[in-house]
Structure 1
């Protein structure tokens, strides 16, 4: 009796990335995007309760994005050093505390502080989940868990899209405090699932001394000052605060010099310099996510201000986009190459920009809903492809930090989107402003599409 010849290369085992393992990680990935966007429909009642101006309530948005941009790489580094499961659980506990305090907070300044707490807490979920995936796959010698990471991306993408509608429903039914309080049962429930279904970290946690050595407090301060001064300039382009621009350049230069001299810097410019593929991935993600946030915030403003739809109606119009975006996250895992999902996503956004040029305040709701669907792939498929690119291009020991920097690029894109919306809309969203926005995004999309075709860094793995 003959037996089949053994392969010269042993087959890799497939790790059990099943429902019980993936579910708590995917649920945690929804916390940052849903908290980022639920606030949009609650700004008006919050301003009324605290007699605040639009600029003052705007810090509820800017505070979370600025904090998340700083906290993502920090939490990623902590996940690399002290164990992703531990960091994940600590982050969930902070989210629950922020939700509890936010539900009873009596002042606007206090709410901004709560949003900062949420920014720190929700920043721990994604890099920790990516690190957990990487540790498990490397331990069992399996291929990257493409489908599992697609589910991770799908959860975040779905919440990013439906957050404003969900915030409107909660605010109208229970008051604006509900968008904070809902975090308490959600975070505690995920903590229970993590305890039950996610394996413990293999190695013990480092001590406090190692924590102080590894956390680059001067680097965090320089990066925060750089982003804050840049944001002050970008958010006032109609009436520029020019001094903020050179100040941001000075802080950026200081950050680079500091990072090159420190062994373990907060922003590892050496890693970005030696890993060109990863740097290009971050740049591409930042530009595309800027366009995505322009749609999430700018299109909703146009629906309510120019087209005359209510908050709930605007949410229903964009609901098909959120569904398609979630499905496209999984579709992106079916491609053997990540270049094609990138090109399909960018191409879809270009078509979407062309459709926006045809819309006006008399366009029917179903045509508007069809037009905006073309922005689903940039939210879903593109996010999955970027996730896979970071997974492939980062070194194993740097995957948590690299995942955190990916989200930092996303939040910088969000800040840039806020600036662009203020520039093209002026006092309020109009048809003309929407068309100007579509033209700007369309040009960016074409440049991104052509550069992605000729980008030789795509799929380039990191040197181990």
Structure 2
């Protein structure tokens, strides 16, 4: 037995994580997933009410993720510079505005606008949570947020359980407009919790300094942000409806990407430091893995749900019930694996789970037994719980601590690019109706993405040496 050196601070003597931060962190981080899962059972009722086929209602998904993909890294960078409080309060207030606009929307165009507002409004939750984790690690001297990271993952999975079921219940009680109205009380609760417990930045405390604020504003790379937004918009607009006639969008995205790279390599304080990101191969691989993982996840969430309603004949409420095993299993898997060291095993099992679920989807048709639908959703729960947690842990330990919020935002951006690919594949597979043939075509797309995800994991030798949530980061 070794004795503690005189004057040394024991691990048990260090201050603990401020648990008051958990409610705003969790509520902020779930605003996007709850709207993602609720809309999955609302697309068909909205389409019937507004006379829109699946190829048009897919824009309700794409609009949310287009806005969020643009906003996450931008808001993340602002959080890195100014702290999470102001950005959190502003963006969560915008969620309430989006809820009002969506509830009163007279047509599809206005409803799409509400989803864009909602996308920007839900931008701050996840980057703010990651920034708070880093600041608490610095304050407490404990760089082991495994329990908190797991809590965030479980909170998102829990909401994913509630989302489809809650969406079906809201539609049954108040029609599809009730799914938008839900954002108003969620916004109010987020703002109140943020005002009560989010720490004030230095500029709001004892060191109020216009000079300091000026230096921080000077670090904003506005041209870089504008070029990034334009590049991503062109790319995502193409992914929403890929066609040769829209090839000019890819050309524009490539040109804007080149201009963005030149700008960032020359900027004194770049929005995205390409030298750092370019030299951080593990982080870039994590982003690529996130993209293909979410192609599978979102194609299942939206495509399988639409087929369950139109191709199989279930109501929105019963479709929500069918989705429950996915997220219940994901919660159990996240809790069971959350504190285990390493991420490679989680990613490999998650990849295998995706492939098995896609193969089972190819066996389904309108006459399949109901238990086979539950089997698919049950299997999908395994990768849902493992992949989200493992990717989140990878970014936490692979990213530059000074850019943790913007790095976390970029993780979500790559995930939402994956969701755009999934949305486009879903619209192309189903066309005017979500039938069994379209579902099988979508399952083949998902299977291809799942194989790519497996290859990115198997061939990444660095994962075997990646730190876990319970070990010091190796930088």
TM-score normalized with structure 2 length:
0.88
Q: Secondary structure at the match of 1:355?
A: helix
SS at match of 1:224: helix
> Do the aligned partners of residues 368 and 40 (structure 1) sit closer, same or farther apart at CA in structure 2, a change above 3 Å counting?
closer
Give CA-to-partner distance per residue, 1:223-268, whole Å, 9 cap, x none: 3332333233333346752332222222222222222222333343
Partner of 1:180: 180
How far did residue 433 of structure 1 move? 3.2
- Residue aligning to 1:134: 134
Q: 1:131, 1:400 within 8 Å by CA — same for their partners in 2?
A: yes
Find the counterpart in structure 2 of residue 248 from structure 1. 253
Aligned equivalents of 1:201, 1:101: Cα separation in 2: 32
* Within-5 A mapping of 1:60-459: 60-160=60-160, 162-201=162-201, 204=204, 209-210=214-215, 212-237=217-242, 240-458=245-463, 459=466
Deviation at 1:410, TM superposition (A): 0.7
Whole-angstrom CA distance in 2 between matches of 1:206 and 1:268? 27
Alpha-carbon deviations, 1:332-387, whole Å to 9, x = none? 31211111111111111122122222222211112211122211122222111111
Measured against aligned partners, the alpha-carbon deviations of 1:157-210 in whole angstroms (never above 9, x if no partner) come to 333454344223213312333222212222222333334444444564886645
Question: Is the 1:126–1:403 Cα contact (8 Å) retained in structure 2?
Answer: yes
Please report how far the alpha carbon of residue 24 of structure 1 lies from its aligned counterpart in structure 2 after TM superposition. 2.5
Aligned residue-pair number: 462
1:25 aligns with 2:30: no
Q: State the partner residue of 1:6.
A: 4
> Aligned partners of 1:263, 1:163: CA distance in 2, in Å?
44
Following TM superposition, by how much is the alpha carbon of 1:324 offset from its aligned partner in structure 2, in angstroms? 1.2
Cα distance in structure 2, aligned partners of 1:306 and 1:56 = 18
Q: Does the CA-based 8 Å contact 1:161-1:296 persist in structure 2? A: no
Structure 2 unmatched ranges of 5 or more? none
Go from structure 1 to structure 2 and tell me whether the alpha carbon gap of 1:444 and 1:389 turns closer, same or farther (over 3 Å shift): same
- Which shifted more, 255-264 or 386-395? 255-264
SS at the partner of 1:244?
helix
Change (3 A) 1:15 1:452: farther
Q: Compared with structure 1, are the counterparts of its residues 231 and 6 closer, same or farther at alpha carbon in structure 2 (3 Å cutoff)? A: closer
Q: Tell me, yes or no, if the aligned pair for 1:238 and 1:423 is still in contact at 8 Å.
A: no
CA separation of 1:48/1:438 partners in 2, compared to 1, >3 Å: closer, same or farther?
closer
Give the stretch that moved more between structures: 115-124 or 40-49. 40-49
1:253-299 deviation digits (Å, cap 9, x = unpaired): 22222222223333432232011111111110111011100100111
Query: Where in structure 1 are there 5+ consecutive unaligned residues?
Result: none
User: What is the distance in 1 between the residues matched to 2:133 and 2:86?
Assistant: 14
| Partner SS state of residue 457, structure 1 | helix
Paired with 1:33 and 1:188, the residues of 2 have a C-alpha distance of 18
Question: Given that residues 96 and 185 in structure 1 are in contact (C-alpha distance below 8 angstroms), is that contact kept between their aligned partners in structure 2?
Answer: yes
Q: Secondary structure at the match of 2:119?
A: helix
Q: 1:408, CA displacement in angstroms?
A: 0.4
Residue equivalent to 1:36: 36
Does 396-405 or 89-98 show the bigger shift?
Answer: 89-98
How far the C-alpha of 1:76 sits from its partner, in A, is 0.8
Offset of residue 106 of structure 1: 4.2
CA contact 2:45–2:176 (8 Å) conserved in 1: yes
Cα pair 2:305 2:319 within 8 Å, conserved: yes
Q: Distance in 1 between matches of 2:16 and 2:97?
A: 33
Give the SS at the match of 2:341.
coil
Deviation at 1:60, TM superposition (A): 2.7
Q: Secondary structure at the match of 2:363?
A: coil
Q: Distance in 2 between matches of 1:300 and 1:152?
A: 25
| 8 Å contact from structure 1 (residues 68, 408) kept in 2 | yes
